[in-house]
Structure 1
Amino acid sequence: MADLESPNVMPKLITFLSSLLQRVAESNDLNRRFQTQKISVFHGLTRPTISIQSYLDRIFKYANCSPSCFIVAYVYLDRFTQRQPALPINSFNVHRLLITSVMVAAKFMDDMYYNNAFYAKVGGISTTEMNFLEVDFLFGLGFHLNVTPNSFHTYCSYLQREMLLQPHVNMAESSLSTERSPKLHLCFNEDESSHQQQQLAV
């Protein structure tokens, strides 16, 4: 996915990420009946009426962050769910996790970015809540924000491959495990030079 700046790539990436997160959220919604899940500041009292696809489209339209931010935001979500297994992505927290991960990625990646108040408006939440979400997200990540070029390339290659395969993959046989806890997708061990793929429980 070297041509992230291409106008044809980002809409496809946004659609793919939305589909992936939708499947994960729905699976974890069902899993709530069998496993205890922690309630956090990312949880809403009800499911947002806006779809994940529309929400991510809105962020992409108004945030004006670089295309790379969405890859890095995905990396951050992967890391967050690995470090916080009691906080799986579900329909009650996915929107807040998305807006927070993109904002943090923009701050880390881009020379110019909007402030928290702007992201709060884009995300449909208050500035105070946005500030709390940012702090909790950073602590949830253990402030592990750096993404090496090798890790970035690995995630890009993985997403590109999955985007190409998606039309030919039965959703019921996708990366979401039916035998164990649902997965976000793949987590890459960034401490190993081989970047071997590992499944990530959420």
Structure 2
Amino acid sequence: MAASRSTDAMDTTPQNDPQAHNISMSSSTISLPAPHPSPSPASPQRVQVRDLSHIQSLASSRPGSSLSSRAGSRRDLNVQYEISSMPIEHIIEMVAGLLTKITSTNDMQHEHLHRQMPPPDSSASISPQTSSVLAFHGKNVPSITILSYLNRINKYCPTSYEVFLSLLVYFDRMTEKVNSGPIQSLREQNQSKSQEQLHNEDGPRMEDSKKAETAQTVTPPASGDLNTAEQRGAIPGTPHSRYQESPPASSSSAQDHDLNLSHFFVVDSFNIHRLVIAGVTCASKFFSDIFYTNSRYAKVGGLPLPELNHLELQFLLLNDFRLSVPVEELEAYGTMLVEFYAREVVDAEKNTNMETETN
């Protein structure tokens, strides 16, 4: 499967839409936080979240909880935050905030991760899975923010909140599927290097013990070797007078093959917009009874129709065509999203207070 590289420009203005925004979009390590594990047999406490201001008030009224601290109390693991009643715009804002945090963190490692990016003409030498991953990688970072992009999609292709929340689930699944192999290879390489290092450390110790034994029993050189030893500048009657072959050159000349980090699936600013529009296209058809044509999704997303069709297929392949999300898993991601947003609000308030005190 050949790798598909992104086009240089993405037009995010739907045709024949007088209300469309004229937004130009030039196209181009952190993974998603794991949601809480499955709740214990005891019925979890359900908190119906109304809107973002409700989350802020909950975070302020519960100091030390999982809403205001990364290490919440143990009882917080039995609290579930139900977001189905929230305005979808507020859910989009939380999803955008999390994805923005992830991409900005991973962007710091972009040069290191993608310095081994294979050229377009080398697509025959990469695996189909790597080809699917590289299909989402653009040449440049789009100028439109993730929040604006999600709001744009919701405006011209409105759908249910499950579609936007499921993006987090799909990205996690893709990360696990793609990165499990390279991570295992990396672990094996580290183990091999550790064993080799231990072996190299044991070698000099054995040589030192042999030299110590030789120093205890000094043997005078044979007459035939005396001249040779003197010519070498060695002192007769010492262990150095013995003729010693020069140590052989290290036979371990095999070069270590560095793991190609470009084969990892990492959500960053170079692929997030394509991942989002492809994910929304797939999820809308699965979760919602009302969805749109790929032509409309392509216009709203600023991509040519053939490219979106290709990305949709790659998205399905990287998810093993498994779009179903159990209700419990979706609820767990909703709880994780509320907790993330609450912590961000608390952190922002702390930073504001610190700046105020400093000034």
Among residues 298, 312, 326, which one is paired with 1:148 in the alignment? 326
What is the aligned partner in structure 1 of residue 82 from structure 2? 2
Do residues 49 (structure 1) and 143 (structure 2) align? yes
Counterpart CA distance in 1 for 2:267 and 2:280 is 15
1, 7, 23: which one aligns with 2:101: 23
Determine the C-alpha separation between the residues in 1 that align with 2:307 and 2:85: 32
Q: How does 1:1-202 map to 2 (within 5 A)?
A: 1-7=81-87, 10-36=88-114, 40-85=134-179, 86-169=264-347
- Paired position in structure 1 for 2:235: none
Matches of 1:28 and 1:165 in 2, distance apart? 20
Bigger radius of gyration among the two: 2
Q: Percent identity?
A: 35
CA distance in 1, matches of 2:265, 2:83: 33
The worse-fitting range, judged by mean Cα deviation, of 118-127 and 20-29 is 20-29
Amino acid at match of 1:31: Q
Whether the 8 Å contact between 2:94 and 2:338 is mirrored in structure 1 is no
Distance in 1 separating the partners of 2:85 and 2:266: 31
Once the two structures are superposed, residues 12-60 of structure 1 have per-residue CA deviations (whole angstroms, 9 ceiling, x without a partner) of 2222222221222122222123335766111221111111111111012
Tell which deviates more after alignment, 77-86 or 142-151.
Answer: 77-86
Count of residue pairs brought into register by the alignment:
168
| Aligned counterpart, 1:187 | none
> Looking at both structures, which has the greater relative contact order when contacts are Cα pairs under 8 Å and sequence separation is at least 6?
2
Q: Give RMSD over aligned pairs.
A: 1.9
TM-aligned CA distance change 1:163 to 1:26, over 3 Å: closer
For the residues of structure 2 that align with 1:45 and 1:34, how far apart are their CA atoms? Answer: 16
After TM superposition, the score normalised by the length of structure 2 is 0.44
How far is the alpha carbon of 1:5 from its aligned partner? 4.4
Aligned-partner Cα distance in 1 for 2:94–2:335: 14
SS in 2 for 1:76: helix
Taking the aligned partners of 1:146 and 1:123, their CA distance within structure 2 comes to 24
Please give the TM-score of this superposition, normalised by the length of structure 1.
Answer: 0.76
Unaligned runs of 5+ in 1: 171-202
After superposition, the Cα gap between the structure-2 partners of 1:138 and 1:163, relative to the gap in structure 1 and judged at 3 Å, is same
AA of the residue aligned to 2:106: N
Aligned partner of residue 113 in structure 1, secondary structure: coil
Task: Tell me, yes or no, if the aligned pair for 2:91 and 2:161 is still in contact at 8 Å.
Answer: no
Q: How big is the shift at 1:3?
A: 4.6
